[in-house]
Chains A and B, each alone.
Chain A
Amino acid sequence: MDVNGETRAAAVQSMLRIVRESPGLDSETLVGTLSCVLRRH
């Protein structure tokens, strides 16, 4: 797998984890958290 693919797959898994572990998050908080995840990857 290409490195960018690995990075994007990891980012997707992080996004799924956020949704799974934070079902009650409001959309604003979720967007903020997601931005952090995507920047990290």
Chain B
Amino acid sequence: MRSAFLARVHDSSVAVLKALYSEPSVLVPVLLSDTPAFIKAVSEVVTAKPSQTSRAILRAHISFLALHFLPLVSQNFVEDAFSQVIFPFLLFSKPKFRTAQAVWEIVEAAQKSAPESGLARCESLEGCVEIIREEERRFLSEAKARKDKSVSSAFENADSMRKINLAVASRMAGEFSFDFEGEIVY
């Protein structure tokens, strides 16, 4: 049964993935019988041809993984899933900022829904959501002060994207702390 479900992880139909992930309480126990196999299957799907994988498909896989699966596995598997599935989509770029934004929203939702496990305990992500939210607040507050309504999201702004990427990458590398006045402190 598990291998039949794992085979459907590779399905390219959003409807099939929605059906597959529609009952986490039923599916998760089946997949937990071979945790590495599910992480590997999702990793293969999302990283095989990332430019051809739609945002809806990415969202389906990463949402289920982050919100329902990772809170129930040991932390070494969380770190594996983070590096193999989630990390490749975290940095912002002009063509991929919507994907990065969607993945960060999933990460934030997962950390809130299971604050003691899963991605909330992922060392590599520690403090990263706060960095992004702080940069977003700073950008929107400056745009408001300028009465600039041309850009509605910080994630569309090249300068904000660059700052966020640098801050997140540095944070993951453990190189600086971030004060909540919006300044990056090296």
Contact = CB atoms under 8 A, between A and B. Distances in A.
B173 interface: no
Contact of A20 (B15, B19, B26): B26
Size class of the contact patch on chain A: 20 to 34
A12 B8 contact: yes
Contacts of A18: 1
Secondary structure dominating the interface of B: helix
B13 A9 contact: yes
A36 interface: no
A31 B1 CA distance: 7
A16 B1 contact: no
B56 to A, nearest CB: 12
Interface string A1-40: 1101110111011011011100000010011001000100
Closest 8 CB pairs of A and B: A5-B13, A9-B19, A12-B19, A9-B15, A8-B16, A1-B15, A9-B16, A20-B26
